[in-house]
Chains A and B, each alone.
Chain A
Amino acid sequence: MSQDLLRIDDLHVAFSTRRGMVEAVRGVTLTVKAGEMLGLVGESGSGKSVTGFATTRLLDAAGRVTAGKILFRGQDVTKLRGDDLRQLQGAAMSMIFQNPRAALNPIRAIGLQIADAILTHKRISKQAARAEALELLRAVQIRDPEQRMNAYPHELSGGMCQRVMIAIAISCNPALLIADEPTTGLDVTTQKVVMDLLADIAAARGMATILITHDLGLAARYCRRIAVMERGRIVEEASPNTLFSAPRHAYTRRLVAASPTATSRIEDLVTEEERERYTAVLGKPRPTLAHGTPPLLEVRKLAKRFDQGSAAVADFSMTMASGESVGLVGESGSGKSTTSRMICRLIDPSEGDIVFDGQSIGHVASRDFHRSPLRKNIQMVFQDPNESLNPRFTAFDCIAHPLMRLDGMRAGEALRQRVEECAQRAGLPLDLLPRFPHQLSGGQKARVGIARAIACRPRLLVLDEPTAALDVSVQAVVLQLLDRLRRENDIALLFVSHDLNVVRMLCDRTIVLRNGGIVEQGESRALFENPKTDYTRKLVEAIPHIEAGPALVAAL
């Protein structure tokens, strides 16, 4: 017992909301030993972050620990106040947050921010603190640390900001580090670099770490022990090996199934009972295209230059047949979103042409394209299901809108039937149609976005990271939905994503982009199993696979 650094005992946290008290954490018990890295895994709303915030005493004003103890070195954290608490925060335990850029003060130079943290806990001069801050920037491997001291967060990349955040968190050598989704939103390669750095620093300084993440693969790669949370409770706690080979709890089973692995197929992502409807479609053979059928989409030497003159995309060419699914992958800034927007005719290309179904559409100005008869043939599903729905439109209005604008339908029985049919095809329960976006869950919003995109029976669907904001179990269902729609209606899918596992499962072919140019392309499975370029290999290797985890741990 005495060697436990942190012992959380039957913790309950409740938030007061408009609808009364809501319990976010109900009875969490876990221990962390000194120097250990514990994974706390669960989907959104499972209470994993709340547990972290309760431990570091950073809960919102609305949140309150209603029962239980958090013992840190035998001292109950929940009872600390004033100076005792401040001596704990930063000095004994600290935290790393999701969205590193927002977590840093935008108008204060990063060197000063690190020095602020140092000066809070050490009685040293400002110069000495500055020197220490510089040392810390070196420790987190920031290049040109002297110059970066005076940089502001907006001048750094997301990965850099997270390193600065790590520097702040470790500045006073805390015994416990809580990392809340530290790499969500970063590129896979950056994610790996940042996580490796974090693990190295924690090991070198003997810091215990709680890694809070929704990504089972990530937790498996870095932690020896993983606790799975569901709806405020810990449902299972085991080593990654046991967790993946023999999950005991039903929820863990579902979570493990839904997490994409190097070999999984879309149909594997859900448990038996959810699979039936899908396999019926899978059985149907794809209609083979007659030889010499012109491609549905042909992109010739597309380029996009923004004002500064540097090319965001250069010399991009591709073709797509109808019913085919193509993945567009690359790190952020590789030009994949720009390319997809040009193909959707939301922005104008600087050069090159886009031929859709034999008609050139590259030269139609993007602001006039909504009048083109081809508009309804090319539709888009956007990244953030929250932001891409009009908050004042009900789900019904959202789906009906393109039908009225593009198909010229009038309000009435026919429209209602079409909307309901679309909702059904997208797997959206009909009783949700009168609801507004804020009354829907993330997965339901994603379905509304998909239903809206398929409302006008498009032939090409461009999807920009459609599952990036979703939980893995929801992602699994959405991926199946997309694949089913493709097979049923022969819709071609252009899938933009940084998640290579997802692309590999969903797409026949994959195009790898880097700095606006095509690095490699080919049949998905071959490309991922046998990458030809170093860049692709680096991308593939950076994906945290569930299988890779235990092996890696064993090798250490």
Chain B
Amino acid sequence: MTGLGATLVRAGRRLLSSLPALFGVLVFTFLLMRVLPGDPAVFFASGPNAGKEEIELIRKQMGLDRSVLEQLVFYLSDISHGNLGRSMMTGQPVLKDLRERLPASLELTFTALLIALIAAVPLGVIAALRPGSVIDHGVRLFCALGVCVPTFVSGLLLIYVFYYLLGLAPDPTGRIDVFTSLPPQRTGFLSIDFLLAGDLEGWWTACRQLILPAVSMALFVIAPLARITRASMLVSLGSDFVRTARSVGLSWRKVVVTYALRNAILPVITIAGIVFSTMLGANVLVEKVFSWPGVASYALDALLSSDYAPVQGFVLLMASLFVLVNLVVDICYGIADPRVSIE
């Protein structure tokens, strides 16, 4: 398949061209952290009464007495060796912290995106098939509600209804309840690891923990996905090739799914990529509400305690993920749309 080859070449080129941007993000966050108020040395000193000498010592240990430029050079050389520094908060290397917490965030975000897509695409299609109908207005109302209720409010509401009132959901504290033993770690995604270990009961506990936070995140992003599906589906249904399909009497299913939807899904892929990246960074509220041990809440804690290294590590991670997600979107797009590879 030359089309796939061309897509891969394009993806590789895109990856290379995003390296300068990654570097820029690196330097920018570094500088930003230095500009922000708050002295980490004071923060991490033994107590509020710590003497000047002690603070000075800590500062020297942390390398904060050097010029910003020198610090930057040290930082960059550390990163090139794969060392993201050590968190003052947890006392662990940042890389280890992130590696432990990233799967939790990813699992949550993936599930949320999946739920959102499963809900949004059919909603958008139904709305587009009957524009101006009661269904269309219903979908619009639902989307508006999803957008204007902040995730932490919908999250709390869901907890109130499903945990407190109905008792259906487990208590919203983390990825798994304290009584279940963890499966051997392979992917870091608990729902997958449990399955791989053959522990269905554990899998069910993990899923029950996952469902509420994922739904409250999904509610927030259903709106953009459903709207773009509806809009591009409308264009696609009104296009000449759908008229051609109807003119030869293709079945309704074939016209709507194979002809209209497959064309309409292209912009949805792009938006889904953007939504995914946004969710990764913005799910800090959900993580906080559900005590989810993800990277975003970790970065927020670090930021509040002027712990430079985790924040920088987090931003770098997010930027790389963003590049990666865009790459995946590009490849998906290249496979879905044969016209792309000619450019």
A residues with CB within 8 A of B = 56, 58, 85-91, 94-95, 97, 99, 102-108, 116-117, 120-121, 152, 154-155, 165, 168-169, 171-172
Contact = CB atoms under 8 A, between A and B. Distances in A.
Nearest to A85: B249
Nearest to B248: A90
A154 B241 contact: no
Interface in B209-243: 239-241, 243
B262 A107 contact: yes
B250 A117 contact: yes
A99 B240 CA distance: 9
Given A108-B258, A120-B250, A154 B342 contact: yes
B247 A154 contact: no
13 contacts: A58-B247, A85-B249, A87-B249, A89-B246, A102-B239, A105-B244, A105-B259, A107-B338, A108-B259, A116-B250, A120-B250, A121-B249, A154-B338
Nearest to B239: A102
Interface residues of B, number: 23
Interface string B77-113: 0000000000000000000000000000000000000
Contact of A105 (B241, B247, B336): B241
B251 interface: yes
B266 to A, nearest CB: 8
Contacts of A120: 248-251, 254
Interface of B: 239-241, 243-251, 254, 258-259, 262-263, 266, 336-339, 342
A89 B248 contact: yes
Most chain-B CB neighbours within 10 Å: which of A106, A121, A155, A172?
Answer: A106
Contact of B263 (A86, A95, A107, A117): A107
B245 A116 contact: yes
Most chain-A CB neighbours within 10 Å: which of B249, B254, B336, B337?
Answer: B249
Contacts of B240: 97, 99, 102-103
A107 B269 CA distance: 15
Contacts of B245: 105, 116
B247 A89 contact: yes
A328 to B, nearest CB: 29
Nearest to A114: B248
B249 A106 contact: no
Given A58-B243, A116-B254, A154-B342, A105 B248 contact: no
Nearest to A88: B249
Contacts of B339: 106-107, 152, 154
B213 to A, nearest CB: 36
Given A107-B263, A117-B249, A120-B249, 16 more contacts: A86-B249, A97-B244, A99-B240, A103-B240, A103-B244, A106-B263, A107-B336, A107-B339, A116-B245, A116-B254, A120-B248, A121-B249, A154-B338, A154-B339, A169-B247, A172-B248
A85 B258 CA distance: 20
Contacts of A154: 338-339, 342
Given A107-B338, A154-B342, A94 B243 contact: no
A97 B259 CA distance: 17
B263 A91 contact: no
A97 B249 contact: no
B241 A106 contact: yes
Nearest to A53: B243
Contact of B248 (A85, A108, A155, A168): A168
B247 A107 contact: no
A165 B244 contact: yes
Q: 9 nearest interchain CB pairs?
A: A90-B248, A89-B249, A90-B249, A102-B240, A117-B248, A86-B249, A105-B241, A103-B240, A95-B247
Given A88-B249, A89-B248, A117-B248, A103 B338 contact: no
B247 A90 contact: yes
Contacts of A58: 243, 246-247
B78 to A, nearest CB: 43
A102 B248 contact: no
A171 B245 CA distance: 13
A91 B247 contact: no
Contacts of B248: 89-90, 94, 116-117, 120, 168-169, 171-172
A55 to B, nearest CB: 11
Contacts of A89: 246-249
Nearest to B132: A61
A87 B248 CA distance: 9
